[in-house]
Amino acid sequence: MFTVQTASKRAAVSVCASRARIHSLLHIPTLLQVASRQRSSPVLAALDTTSFAAHISDKQPWIERRGFGTSASKAKEETVAYKLADIGEGITECEIIQWFVKPGDKVFQFDKICEVASDKATVEITSRYDGVIKKLYYADNDIALVGKPLVDIAVEAPALAQQPKAKEPAVIELAPAVMPSTAAAPQDFSCERTNDVVYATPAVRRIAREGSVDLRFVAGTGKGGRILKDDVYRFVESSREKPAPVEPIVVATTVAAQSKASRSDAVRPGSGDHIVNLSPVQRAMFRSMTDSLSIPHFRFKDEIEIDALILARQRINSAQQPQADAAADKITLMPFFIKATSLALAQFPILNSRVLAEPGATPRLEYRAAHNIGVAMDTPSGLIVPSIKNVQDKSLLEIAAELRALVLRGKAGALTSSDLRGGTFTLSNVGMIGGTYLSPVVVSSEVCICAIGRTQRLPRFDGNSDRVVARNVLVTSWAADHRVVDGATMARFSMLYKQLLEQPELMLARMR
């Protein structure tokens, strides 16, 4: 949990450990690194809404990964014929290689029961229940059939009343669950998206999943709106009684809601209109965006050929020495963009200023000496813009190191308020995701913003000749507060920026 508060009323938000969009500077959200999979507490389960996870996405369904024992509220014993679950791969029978238990043994959930083999795979079958083994249905080397009883276990817990179709954590990727009442599109509990938070323990989620219940529509009666097992049972009962489409009962507790259009490509199955209050994060964004949109934007876009820059970076990286116990740190192009911004700002300090406009007083401009360049990044907590302070005094390598540190802190959700405060200019490298021509929104405590688009290899004429060569081109999209910045200033700034990046030696000439 952390509170983000900046002097300029950016977003006074208290965020729980779930996703929150604190800033939406751009129409396309910015990504600087992939948000890793969630590690939230057991109570707040799978809310990993990384739609940009192009890399590792383990597509984890809501399956409890830790061994939560079944809650034995009644001490009644019941012998269950534990069937050999579908082990996937279309296998219908397999040979028992080895038993790990015998009748009379006590087993816990997830203990090994036996090992079976099919043509190429050996599979360990684990117990689903806590209990005592009563009977083994097969001997060593017998062929066991999938779906038929494997062992008898005497179990205590009452949760068996549900008697689910025995499903091991699936080898099949995701189990789509369908709303019982509406014939809506099957929802999958993948990490791609959810809109709301529901509080329910993994055991309750399992029951819900097996009963094909969408927990967002279940009213929770537990502490803090938590959904209990009985709530799910009741819901199933009530939906059975009413075959007509059920109007969804208000979601248990909504703490954070996604607001980006790109995220909500889902999934409220059409079950009637309903009104929901804005979440705290949405309210903050509403305020800050409203502030920003009072700024008339002057927009300027220009192409930059970055071949020389790429070469310079390669040279710098190959000269990097490995540190004591780590590999050599390679820098990306971002430090170049950041430093060039600062060098250009030295010529055009107005773009690093801030508008002071109290109602009733005459507006004034505050020029700021420090170039604190904010870098938009996507973190587990949402879109955040920490800033690198005093870029004017830092070398490329120092900027790169600080950027790396910020990224790591951002990933770990450990950014401090000093990281997030005091920015004077903002850069966004949306090109990492895509987008060529962008329209960023100026932050209300600043007067200028730049969005860097995707690098493309494009044909260009070489100098004045008719010869066509391949060049690496990206587009920088600028936006400035037109109340204080005129078009010519923005254009000249952009031309200088372009020059610095196309001829990196010029950056060298200006470095202090």
Partner 1 sequence: MLCRILRKSDPESFVLYLWRNRPTIVIGRNQNPWKECNLKMMASRNVLLARRTSGGGSVYHDMGNSNYTVVMPREAFTRDKCAEMVSRALHHADIPAYVNERHDVTVEGRKISGSAFKLTNKRAFHHGTMLIDTDLGRLHGCLHSEAKDDIEALGVESVRSVVTNLREYSLSIDHLTFCQAVMREFGRTFGKLDVGRNVTVWDESDTDVVGMVEEERKRISTWKWLYGQTPRFVHRFGGVVGGKPVVAKVSVYHGHVTEVSLEYDAGQEDADDCGIFQMISDSLVDAPYVAADIRGCLGPISRESPAAAELCRWILEKIMEAASGDSA
Q: Is 226 in the site for partner 1 (CB under 8 A)?
A: no
Q: Among residue numbers 130 through 149, which ones bind partner 1 (CB under 8 A)?
A: 140-141
Of the residues 123, 144, 213, 257, which one makes contact with partner 1 according to CB under 8 A = 123
CB closer to partner 1 out of 95 and 398: 95
Instruction: Give the Cβ contact number of residue 425 at 10 Å.
Output: 24
Instruction: Locate 345 and state its tokens.
Output: 């700002």
Q: Is 16 in the site for partner 1 (CB under 8 A)?
A: no
User: Is there a contact between 197 and 230 (Cβ–Cβ < 8 Å)?
Assistant: no
Min CB(395)–partner 1 separation in Å: 23
Of the residues 164, 169, 186, 363, which one makes contact with partner 1 according to CB under 8 A = 169
149-155, strands of its sheet edge to edge? 78-83, 149-155, 131-136, 106-107
CB closer to partner 1 out of 165 and 467: 165
Of the residues 1, 7, 41, 65, which one makes contact with partner 1 according to CB under 8 A = 65
CB closer to partner 1 out of 122 and 290: 122
Exposure class string for 219-235: b at 16+ Cβ within 10 A, else e: ebebeebbbbbebbeeb
Q: Is 173 in the site for partner 1 (CB under 8 A)?
A: yes
Stretch that binds partner 1, among 144-152, 162-170, 282-290, 476-484 (CB under 8 A): 162-170
Stretch that binds partner 1, among 42-50, 119-127, 250-258, 363-371 (CB under 8 A): 119-127
CB closer to partner 1 out of 53 and 344: 53
Of the residues 102, 104, 119, 241, which one makes contact with partner 1 according to CB under 8 A = 119
Q: Which of 27, 105, 302, 482 is catalytic?
A: 482
Q: Is 210 in the site for partner 1 (CB under 8 A)?
A: no
CB closer to partner 1 out of 168 and 307: 168
226 backbone dihedrals φ, ψ, rounded to 5° = -65, 140
Stretch that binds partner 1, among 146-154, 281-289, 310-318, 325-333 (CB under 8 A): 325-333
Stretch that binds partner 1, among 120-128, 227-235, 291-299, 461-469 (CB under 8 A): 120-128
Q: Is 118 in the site for partner 1 (CB under 8 A)?
A: yes
Q: Is 393 in the site for partner 1 (CB under 8 A)?
A: no
User: Is there a contact between 24 and 383 (Cβ–Cβ < 8 Å)?
Assistant: yes
Of the residues 44, 145, 154, 170, which one makes contact with partner 1 according to CB under 8 A = 170
Q: Is 327 in the site for partner 1 (CB under 8 A)?
A: yes
Q: What is the DSSP string of 357-413?
A: --TTSPPEEE--SS--EEE-EEETTEEE--EES-GGG--HHHHHHHHHHHHHHHHTT
CB closer to partner 1 out of 323 and 464: 323
CB closer to partner 1 out of 87 and 438: 87
Rounded CA-CA distance 343/348 in Å is 9
Min CB(404)–partner 1 separation in Å: 13
- C-alpha distances in angstroms, 223 versus 40, 73, 195, 227? 19, 18, 21, 8
Q: Is 482 a catalytic site residue?
A: yes
Min CB(176)–partner 1 separation in Å: 15
**Radius of gyration over every alpha carbon of the chain, rounded to an integer in angstroms:** 29
User: Is there a contact between 86 and 140 (Cβ–Cβ < 8 Å)?
Assistant: no
Q: What is the DSSP string of 457-485?
A: EEEEE-TTSS-EEEEEEEEEEEEEETTT-
* Number of amino acids touching partner 1 (CB under 8 A): 36
CB closer to partner 1 out of 128 and 389: 128
User: Is there a contact between 177 and 241 (Cβ–Cβ < 8 Å)?
Assistant: no
Contacts of 42 (CB under 8 A, 6+ apart): 66, 68, 201, 202
Q: Tokens 């998206």 correspond to what residue?
A: 193
Min CB(101)–partner 1 separation in Å: 15
457-465: which pairs have CB atoms within 8 A and are 24 or more residues apart? 460/305
Of the residues 3, 58, 79, 81, which one makes contact with partner 1 according to CB under 8 A = 58
Q: Is 87 in the site for partner 1 (CB under 8 A)?
A: yes
Where does residue 447 fall: left (phi above 0), alpha (psi -120 to 50 degrees), or beta otherwise? alpha
Q: Which helix (H) or strand (E) holds 355?
A: strand 354-356
Min CB(165)–partner 1 separation in Å: 18
Q: What is the DSSP string of 402-456?
A: HHHHHHHHHHTT---HHHHS---EEEE-GGGT--SS------TT-SEEEEE---E
Q: Is 97 in the site for partner 1 (CB under 8 A)?
A: yes
Q: Is 120 in the site for partner 1 (CB under 8 A)?
A: yes
The two beta strands, 354-356 and 364-366, are antiparallel
Q: Is 322 in the site for partner 1 (CB under 8 A)?
A: yes
- C-alpha distances in angstroms, 361 versus 9, 356, 364, 485? 19, 9, 9, 20
Catalytic residues: 482, 486
Q: Using CB under 8 A as the criterion, which residues of the chain lie in contact with partner 1 when the complex forms?
A: 37, 55-56, 58-61, 63, 65, 87, 89, 95, 97, 110, 112, 115, 117-124, 126, 140-141, 168-171, 173, 322, 326-328
